[in-house]
Amino acid sequence: MTAVDEALQDAVTAALRERHGDRVTLTDLRTLAGGRSGVTLTADVGGLAMVDAVVVKAAPPGRRPVGRHDVLRQARVMDAVASVPGVVVPEVLAVGTEPVHFVAMTRSAGEAVEPVLAAGSVRLPAGLVRARAECAAGMLAALHHVTDIPARPDGTSEPVADLAAEVARWRATSEATDPEILVGGALLAELLEKHLPAASAAPVLVHGDFRLGNLVFTGPTPTGLIDWEIWGITQPGVDIGWFLVFCNPDLFPGIGELVDGMPTSAELVRCYTEAGGAPVTDLEWFEAFGRFKMAAIMAHNLRRHREGRHHDPFQETLPPTIARLVKTGIALLGG
């Protein structure tokens, strides 16, 4: 354990004791296996009723706690939705700002599996795949009914992003990639801007990365919606289009597989509306936007790998998927 890890473990222990009593103990702070979302750690805990392990998310040392590293912002939204019927999130147990910003939360029991992308290593029964996907669609509808959005620490409201701002945000990501990787990305961005739909629903709280791989389940029962780095307030279709990307194996050549039991996009949208979600208009635009966003993120991560900023050989398997996402996104918009 490094000096930073030791200081963080001491700080988390102190924060937990301040909120939950001096009998709390924290041991074996370590990297959470499978965690890809910033600095994600886990530790054993004692002295807390019904809790024997926690997850600690922290801003990377030396990095400003802004954007996806603003873990206190993530804690605020999890607190805000914790009591919403139909939405299940980890309980925030403590937060702190030294030696880095951090949040300690309960560790959701179970597994988080992206069926289409994990079929080579985790093969779930068809009935369980369908049950989890339909449950997720229902939870998304419940999430989109949240109206009590937590204010910022200075008392100001979180900004509302219109669809033009959403496209601009991910276009900036796409333009920071190698154009030889994201072939056609600029055209897809232009088509999204050209066919920008009018707002068809009131802005809602969106998770930003809502998919089965970010929902922990025990069997068919959800135990926690995790990874809130890019939550915001915008049109609900932003979450829907993104969710549908991960349920379509055709978009992931070479790395995704057809999974028995996975509902079709139409079935998942129907589950969403039957659970109380607003009727989805301009669905093809939102699906194209989800594909553009995914392609931009993948191309950005591949460039980081090739430049040696984040070594991850898996990134070299992504070019066919990036190409398919862009090509089908363009086709959805008639390009």
Q: Is the pLDDT of residue 249 over 80?
A: yes
pLDDT number for residue 2: 64
Phi, psi dihedral angles at 97 (to 5 degrees): -125, -5
Give residue-wise pLDDT tens across range 290-323: 999 999 999 999 999 999 988 899 999 999 999 9
What b-and-e string marks burial along 160-179, b requiring 16 or more CB atoms within 10 Å of the CB?
Answer: ebebeebbeebbebbeebee
Q: Is the pLDDT of residue 5 over 90?
A: no
Query: In this model, does residue 230 exceed pLDDT 80?
Result: yes
Task: Indicate whether 97 pLDDT > 70.
Answer: yes
pLDDT at 44 over 70: yes
Cα Rg of the chain, angstroms: 20
Span 213-223, average pLDDT:
98
Which amino acid is located at 283 in the chain? L
- Is residue 41 within 8 A of residue 29, CB to CB? The reply is yes
The token pair that represents 260 in the structure block = 């028995």
Shortest CA distance to 261 belongs to which of 88, 142, 113, 144? 113
Query: Quick check: 200 pLDDT over 80?
Result: no
pLDDT number for residue 151: 87
Q: What is the pLDDT of residue 24?
A: 97
What proportion of the chain, given as a percentage, has pLDDT over 90?
87
Residues making up the chain, counted from first to last: 335
pLDDT of residue 148: 78
pLDDT band, very low/low/confident/very high, at 3 (cuts 50, 70, 90): low
Amino acid at 207: H
Whether 38 has a pLDDT exceeding 90, the answer reads no
- Residue 240, classified by CB atoms within 10 Å of its CB into exposed (0-12), middle (13-18) or buried (19+), is buried
Mean predicted confidence (pLDDT) in 147-161: 89
Band the pLDDT of 272: cuts 50, 70, 90: very high
Output the pTM of the full model.
0.95
Whether 335 has a pLDDT exceeding 90, the answer reads no
CATH second-level architecture of 115-332?
Alpha-Beta Complex (3.90)
The stretch 168-186 carries a mean pLDDT of 95
Whether 215 and 191 have beta carbons less than 8 Å apart is answered as no
* CATH class of segment(s) 3-106: alpha beta
Helix then strand then coil, % of the chain, to nearest 5: 45, 15, 40
Q: Which pLDDT value is given to residue 120?
A: 78
Predicted local distance difference test score (pLDDT) of residue 104: 98
Residue 201 Cα to chain centre, angstroms: 22
Domain ranges of the chain: 3-106, 115-332
